[in-house]
Amino acid sequence: MKKKTVIGIIGAGRIGRVHAEGICNQIPGAHVKSMADPFMNDETAQWAESLGVEFTTKDYKEILDDSEIDAVLICTPTDTHARITREAAKAGKHIFCEKPIDLDVESIKETLRVVEEAGVKFQIGFNRRFDHNFRAVKDAVSAGKIGDPHMIKIISRDPSPPPVEYIKSSGGIFVDMTIHDFDMARYLSGSEVVEVYVQGAVLVDPEIGKAGDIDTALITLKFANGAIGSIDNSRKAVYGYDQRAEVFGSKGSIASGNDTLSTVVLSTEDGIISEKPLFFFLERYLASFVQELREFVQAIVDDTDTPLGGLDALRPVQIAIAAGESLKTGQAVKLSY
């Protein structure tokens, strides 16, 4: 029997727990040895134990110091990602880090430099690339089924806005929400974004506007390969979490729709009614959270590149910053890297 990849999870909040359950229940080739969280308590420790986690602690450095541990998942608040990533790299651990590493480009670059020097594997947590629908879109494009891509179109609407307090601290819609779409645009186009233009508005909740953010946006992208694209964002689609993409090209179009709880269709005097999109992102994307780790572990086992490396961590933040500038100036902003 092959040795399992031994993993420590740093951060036992919502996403840390999702990852723990995913690995323990669905990735036989990996073992979560330890979990660390400054707020670790008995209840969390018991839950971890029930999954087969051997060790829980308040101090993530115990994980970094554990020579048995091959890789860490960094699931802590965003403002600690860069620092812990650097420490983990220096400790020789392979790293899976939730997005984004940082909101500061220089900090990201420095962190990636440290990672590279350490020679450890690094993967950033843009889970949507591992979603069955988006992957099927990408696969069709890669297989040449739609010819040369001309337009990349992404619809990404949340079911309801986060608390305004969160928005105040998150860095705004481009870094807390659209950043996934910027990654998706790069993934589906197979190219870099070289220009961005934003038309934004506050239409969902004036409080969001008062907090200095927008809640509705149409974003236009130009790619290095000549293709163009758009992202359609709203903080509130009352019918559910609307997550779709289309790539249109010289030989046709490939488009993904939403997932639903079931396929049933009700026909009555009131119309023909089918199910709404899944509402909650963890429900919608659960399988993708497992799949991104499955491929991370596989990259360690096979000693290959991870599917989402350093540039994939850096570029979306750069695009988000340019988007913010476009929103402020009302004009298109060019990116050069």
Which single residue is written with the structure tokens 């659960």? 286
Q: What is the contact mask toward a copy of itself in residues 89 to 128, using x (rule: CB under 8 A)?
A: ----------------------------------------
Q: For a copy of itself, which stretch binds (CB under 8 A), given 10-18, 91-99, 186-194, 232-240?
A: 232-240
Of the candidate residues 14, 25, 105, 328, the single one contacting a copy of itself (CB under 8 A)? 25
Q: For a copy of itself, which stretch binds (CB under 8 A), given 34-42, 70-78, 196-204, 282-290?
A: 196-204
Residues 6 or more apart whose CB falls under 8 angstroms from that of 146 comprise 140, 247, 248, 249, 250, 251, 252, 253, 254
Q: Is there binding between residue 42 and a copy of itself (CB under 8 A)?
A: no
Of the candidate residues 38, 92, 144, 257, the single one contacting a copy of itself (CB under 8 A)? 257
Of the candidate residues 267, 302, 303, 336, the single one contacting a copy of itself (CB under 8 A)? 267
Residue type at position 158: D
Of the candidate residues 218, 224, 286, 301, the single one contacting a copy of itself (CB under 8 A)? 218
Question: Residues 46 to 65: which contact a copy of itself by CB under 8 A?
Answer: 46, 50, 52
Q: Least separation, in Å, of the C-beta of 260 and a copy of itself? A: 8
Q: Is there binding between residue 160 and a copy of itself (CB under 8 A)?
A: no
Residue type at position 24: C
Q: For a copy of itself, which stretch binds (CB under 8 A), given 53-61, 132-140, 166-174, 282-290?
A: 132-140
Q: Least separation, in Å, of the C-beta of 145 and a copy of itself? A: 6
d(CA 273, CA 266): 5
Of the candidate residues 99, 121, 157, 180, the single one contacting a copy of itself (CB under 8 A)? 157
d(CA 187, CA 128): 10
d(CA 193, CA 334): 9
Residue-wise DSSP of 201-227: E--S-HHHHHTT--SEEEEEEEETTS-
Residue-wise DSSP of 269-325: TTEEEEPPBP-SHHHHHHHHHHHHHHHHHHHHHHT---SS-HHHHHHHHHHHHHHHH
Q: Is there binding between residue 226 and a copy of itself (CB under 8 A)?
A: yes
